[in-house]
Structure 1
Amino acid sequence: MFTNDQRQAERTGKYGTPRLQYLQELVNEFQSSTSQETQRANICIRPLELTEAKERVVANLANFSYDPYNYFFLRQLNVLELFLDCMTEPNEKLIEFGIGGICNSCVDPANASIIIQCGGIPLIIECLSSPVRNTVNYALGALYYLCNALNKEEIMKPEVVDVIKRYAVAESVSFSNLAKAILDKHLSDRN
């Protein structure tokens, strides 16, 4: 359910953490995990706990990114950029959660603008070849919402359209439905 100020106040209670502060704490936790990971990497130790902590934080942030109530906070805290950074990692979970956050938030024009300006389109297109089903689904959903007259040529390049057409005939209903929706909305001549 989407949140508004009144509902947020009711859910937070008198002594709860305000949403902006909570999201800031998550971002700080991610940055702390990244910093500790870098320090440990210098001595060739990369504890699993740090990787899991980063994954957990990004998953939480992605869950908050579906609610329009949080969009301003996400922009203020540069969470969209954090999602894009995660999509450049070798860790498939971070990529999945990063593209999930992008997909959840890109329906908002201000968020979409940031994602596009920060080079998100090539990263999203790259996710179409992921072995992780959720990553592909999120990428298809994000492309559906991000494609517009200004970036249609970048997104609907022949090689990308070919991939989307393959998903349109896939056995996976979610792949097929999303891919068909993209083609119906953004490709006038579906040869």
Structure 2
Amino acid sequence: MFSTKERLKKRTGKNLVDRPAYLRLLVDEYKTSKSLEAKQQVLANLANFAYDPINYGWLRKLNVIRLFLEELSASDDKTVEFSIGGLCNLCLDFENKDIILETHGSLSAIKGCLTSDNPEIVTSSITLLIYLITPKSKAAIKSEDTLELMVAFSRNPNKRFSNLAHVFLADYCDPSEVSAAQLRVDEFTRQNEISSIPLP
């Protein structure tokens, strides 16, 4: 992420010319394959390539960011896991971040992943939301339902959830916002505990 363009090219070596063609083959394979397992493998490969800044321009040209976003609503966990992981890998780049934020429905799709039963998806979703916070996107990301989820995650025994949620709440939220969300979560918990008591 912090390498110069010249150093990145030097590190890439002789395969620099082949990489755009290979990435295109991966995207084509994803679009044409009928096998779920093969599609998942392609997404995993694309997510790995998304970790390397030398690939950002090619991934943008191939619309891989939008591909990842579209697959956040997939019915199988692995597809969602690789897609949200790929977005995490490339979203620190300002241009990539803008594409994510400007794509209609992207924040809703990412937030929807917060309620997944797959801990890898949840961890990546919290991380991605943190990375996507800008002065312009802050209000949309810090919606009441998201703050309530972050409060709940901050109390979760899963340390990855709680640590990330504490970062979100401490670094990007006003204390008054956090207190209000805590009260709503406490009230919801209290009501559910009461309603779960069997009537005589």
Give TM-score scaled by structure 2 length.
0.81
Correspondent of 2:73 among 88, 92, 102: 88
User: What residue number does 2:44 align with?
Assistant: 59
1:4 aligns with 2:8: yes
Correspondent of 2:121 among 122, 135, 139: 135
CA distance in 2, matches of 1:60, 1:184: 34
User: What residue number does 2:138 align with?
Assistant: 152
User: What residue number does 2:28 align with?
Assistant: 28
The one-letter code of the counterpart of 1:154 is A
The one-letter code of the counterpart of 2:154 is A
1:69 aligns with 2:54: yes
CA distance in 1, matches of 2:52, 2:159: 25
- The percent identity for this pair of structures is 36
CA distance in 1, matches of 2:113, 2:52: 23
Structure whose alpha-carbon radius of gyration is higher: 2
1:164 aligns with 2:150: yes
CA distance in 2, matches of 1:184, 1:18: 44
Name the Cα RMSD after superposition: 1.7
CA distance in 1, matches of 2:106, 2:130: 14
The one-letter code of the counterpart of 1:103 is C
Correspondent of 2:87 among 85, 102, 110: 102
Shift of 1:182: 1.1
CA distance in 1, matches of 2:49, 2:143: 32
CA distance in 1, matches of 2:106, 2:91: 11
Shift of 1:164: 0.8
CA distance in 2, matches of 1:104, 1:164: 22
Higher helix proportion:
2
The one-letter code of the counterpart of 1:141 is T
Q: What runs of 5+ residues in structure 1 fail to find an aligned partner?
A: 38-49
The one-letter code of the counterpart of 2:155 is V
Poorly superposed stretches of 4+, deviation over 4 Å: none
Give TM-score scaled by structure 1 length.
0.85
Correspondent of 1:184 among 167, 170, 173: 170
1:126 aligns with 2:112: yes
